[in-house]
Structure 1
Amino acid sequence: MKVSIITVVYNGAEFIRDCIESVLNQTYTDIEYIIVDGRSTDGTVDIVKSYGTKVARFISESDKGLYDAMNKGIHLATGDVIGLLNADDFYRHNSVIENMVATFKRTDSDAVYGDMLYVDRLDTRKLKRYWRSGGYSDNAFLWGWMPGHLSFFAKRWLYEQYGGFRLDMKSAADYELMLRFIHKMKAKLAYMNEVTIVMRVGGISNSSLQNRLRANREDRLAWQLNGLTPYFFTFWLKPLRKIKQYISKPPETRDK
């Protein structure tokens, strides 16, 4: 099973090496690594090029933002499975892809997801948040559930058949895509009961009331665009579910 991992980056020289190394150090060998750069000016391009053919595909050109760049990477991908890893982030251990592929094969699923850690941007030993997705049940999205986007690995045919990220969405484009794949199109899911992704804090935040209200509007739009009807409380359960993520502690990783 060939796996395509896509990293999108713009001026990410500070942490891009950690990201790249976490992919190249995976024990699973049939990986196509694709990096899509938004025409960085801070040395990112030189860093990526220093890895030579270890990066299977590399493009550096202007884009329309994060999700446009992700769609470019998806279009370039030739793997059976596609995963996304942002330039600030890294896999928690070297067997993540191996374990993910084993889960696909064991469960014959269309998509696999796991858990995520949010850590301090500079000191990655400082835990900020633990996103334990837990197992999926039918209609879980109605109850505010969603998996962490970067822990989500999907068969390439899902993107080919149902499309990529909508560019008319902003921070909720990942939510809309998973809502479409999972809740609307009923993709068969399997849960990896382990932390797969470590994310540095500092991305788009919903911590302020203004940002939360904006996210709420986008969540509603995601349902409308797909012709779906949520419960009246769906959009408020979604942020409430995050509270536990700030007090829960993750299990120790087996592979350092």
Structure 2
Amino acid sequence: MRVSIVTVVYNNRDLVQDAIDSVAAQDYGDMEHILIDGGSTDGTMNIVKSYRHLKWISEMDDGLYDAMNKGVMMASGDIIGLLNSDDLFKDQYVVSRVVDFFKNSTNVDIVFGNLEYVKRENPKDIVRVWRTGDFYPSFFEDGLVPPHPAVYLKRKVYDKHLFDLDFKLAADYEFMLRIFKDPEFKVGYLDSICVSMRLGGVTNNSLRNIINGNIEIKNAWHKNGFSLPHFFWMKRIIFKLKQFLK
């Protein structure tokens, strides 16, 4: 199975090298790493161009999720995953574990694992862990959501679904709600931490973005023909608080 990892970057010269090196360190052999740059002006592309193995483009785009769609459409892999330019794989065996899970599970199309939040200046300092447990029919209704950077999809999922650019902050949530609710696809849970995610992402970097992101989450339910469940917001808060428990 060939694996494509897509990284989207814009003006992240200080951290993008860590992400590239993290992918390159994976022990799985049949991989490609695609980097989509939004027209960086800070020297990011000087770093990217120094890696001869990367597939990349650098051009203006319509935001993060437009760039993700571009990367997915460039991918040649049987399995496609995303790694943010701030983030790192937990260890060098992540992709191998994901591929083994696909191979050993019958007809699984979607595999998701766990994620740890780490301090931006010290990725070895773990702040909280995003671990949902197995997927089940009322997973989203119970306020749960898979950690998007730890979601790996077969090519055919992206052939049917891409990110909806009407959503600027919660397109990843809307995308996951849509694909996990699609009866065509079978979901598997890999109980392993896949990604170390540095704190300070766009969605949570201001109160305004948090509010607007939650409005988009509500809109994601309605746009896909679902009713927002009772006590949904309370359940989401409880789940997030549990992430801080060791």
1:85 to 69, 83, 86: 83
- Specify the alignment match of 1:218 in structure 2: 216
1:67-122: CA deviation from partner (whole Å, max 9, x where unpaired)? 01000001111111110001010101001000000001111310111111111111
Q: Percent identity?
A: 43
Q: Secondary structure at the match of 1:142?
A: coil
Q: 1: CA distance between counterparts of 2:12 and 2:207?
A: 28
Amino acid at match of 2:146: P
Count of residues in Structure 1 that have an aligned counterpart in Structure 2: 245
Flag structure 2 segments of 5+ consecutive residues without an equivalent. none
Q: How does 1:162-241 map to 2 (within 5 A)?
A: 163-185=161-183, 187-206=185-204, 210-241=208-239
**Alpha-carbon offset, residue 206 of structure 1:** 4.2
8 Å contact 1:139–1:183 — kept in the other structure?
Answer: no
Question: Which residue in 1 is equivalent to 2:10?
Answer: 10
1:38 and 2:33 correspond: no
Could you tell me which amino acid in structure 2 is paired with residue 180 of structure 1?
R
**Alpha-carbon distance change, 51 to 211 in structure 1, aligned in 2, over 3 angstroms:** closer
- Checking the alignment, whether the CA contact within 8 Å between 2:222 and 2:228 is kept in structure 1 is no
Q: Give the drift of 1:174.
A: 0.6
Q: Provide the C-alpha distance between the structure 2 equivalents of 1:125 and 1:20, rounded to a whole number of angstroms.
A: 18
Question: Aligned partners of 1:48 and 1:84: how far apart in 2?
Answer: 17
Q: Give the match for residue 132 of structure 2.
A: 133
Aligned to 1:72: 70
4+ residue segments displaced more than 2 Å: 184-187, 204-216
Q: What TM-score, normalized by structure 2, do the two folds share?
A: 0.95
8 Å Cα contact 1:10-1:38 kept in structure 2: yes
Structure 1 unaligned regions, length at least 5: 249-256
Change (3 A) 1:114 1:214: same
Q: Does the CA contact (< 8 Å) of 1:216 and 1:235 recur in 2?
A: no
SS of the aligned residue for 1:72 comes to helix
Within the alignment, does 1:22 sit opposite 2:25 as a pair? no
- The 1:124–1:230 alpha-carbon spacing in structure 2 relative to 1, beyond 3 Å, is same
Q: Distance in 2 between matches of 1:207 and 1:13?
A: 19
**How far apart are 1:32 and its partner, in Å?**
1.4
Measure, in 1, the Cα distance between the counterparts of 2:10 and 2:183. 32
Distance in 1 between residues matched to 2:210 and 2:35, nearest whole Å:
31
Measured after TM superposition, the shift of residue 207 of structure 1 is: 8.0
Query: How many angstroms apart in 2 are the aligned matches of 1:106 and 1:214?
Result: 40
